[in-house]
Amino acid sequence: MKEIINKSKNILRNISGGFFIFIGFLGMVYSSFWAGLFMLMFGISLLPIFYIKTKLNLKHIQVFLPIFLIVLSIFAMPSPTKETSNNNTEENTINDVNEIQENLKIEIKKLYFTESNIELDVNETKDILLEIEPANADISSLEFCTSDNKVATIENHNLENLENKIAVKINPISEGTCEVYVKTDNNIESNKVTIKIIDNERIEQEKIAKEEQQKKEAEEQAKKVAEEQAKQKAKEVNTNSTSKQSSTSSKSSKKKSTCSSSSQTTTNNAKKSSSSSSSNSNNTHGKVIYRTPYGKKYHFDPDCGGKNSYQVTLDAAKSAGLTPCQKCAQ
């Protein structure tokens, strides 16, 4: 039974010792070094193995040593008032340093962009350099401005290793043109940079669409010209065919007309001949001739018949049995 009690005490002392060792270590790091150190030693003094290793097996030492160390640890702990005072002192020191730094801030004398005109795609960004004079001037008061925040904005890109310069990042928003610049709270202003934002993808698509439209129009025009040429050629073929037919018809008509004219001429000549014959015949039979009362000849010339000749018709002369004069009636 006694052994069980001793084992339980040793286990409790080991657990307590380990706990206070841990607390002491934390106190040394984050709070008071001496208080933490004494607390750590107090934890060690609770461990049974410490006394076995050091051969300090006297009971009064195992009782008074931990009490002594815990008392030292308590006295070494800083008071809350002192800690608060130290904190306030540190804060005041920091505020004083900040105030001194603010008083020592160097004002900007000049701001200048190294570029004046920039064309940028809407899907890209670009850094431009802003020169600052003097080089060690305070830049906390810089204000980044744009004439149209719907087209583009600018901001400090915070690139390192730039002497008397800062990188200003251009952020495109949409197509258009605007001006960007930087100024300070004491009205120092940089030169203005003209930013033109374009959409290369849209431009390329419009270019392709325009080329396709022009190609389509050219094809339609070529097709129209080809159709017109085909119509013209067909018209010329029809005209030539009509001309040939007309020529053939004209030749045939002329031939027929010639034949008809010849036939008509022959007919007319025949009629004329017949008419002439008839007329001659009529004229011959009805012609006035001359005869004498007792003569047996008739005459065409009255002088040939003599003074006694008188007019009679040819038929009457022939009926009377008269024959033509050999001189004037042949």
Rounded to an integer, the average pLDDT of 59-79 is 80
Rounded to an integer, the average pLDDT of 25-45 is 84
Residues 102 and 249: their CA atoms lie apart, in Å, by 118
Select the more confidently predicted residue: 38 or 284.
38
Cβ atoms of residues 111 and 127 within 8 Å: no
Question: What pLDDT does 152 receive?
Answer: 94
Point out the least confidently predicted range of 268-277, 296-305, 315-324.
268-277
Overall pTM > 0.85: no
Provide the 3-class DSSP secondary structure of residue 80: helix
Question: What pLDDT does 265 receive?
Answer: 46
CATH code given to domain 110-198 = 2.60.40.1080
pLDDT in tens, 13-34: 888 888 888 888 888 888 888 8
Select the more confidently predicted residue: 271 or 44.
44
Question: What pLDDT does 182 receive?
Answer: 92
Going by pLDDT thresholds of 50, 70 and 90, the confidence category of residue 71 is confident
Say if residue 42 is exposed, middle or buried (CB neighbours under 10 Å; 0-12, 13-18, 19+): buried
Going by pLDDT thresholds of 50, 70 and 90, the confidence category of residue 181 is very high
Question: What pLDDT does 278 receive?
Answer: 41
The token duo for 273 is: 């001949």
* pLDDT of 291 strictly over 80: yes
Question: What pLDDT does 209 receive?
Answer: 94
Q: Which residue ranges make up each domain of the chain? A: 2-99, 110-198, 285-324
pLDDT in tens, 242-270: 766 666 655 555 554 444 444 454 444 43
Q: How far is CA 327 from the centre of its chain?
A: 122
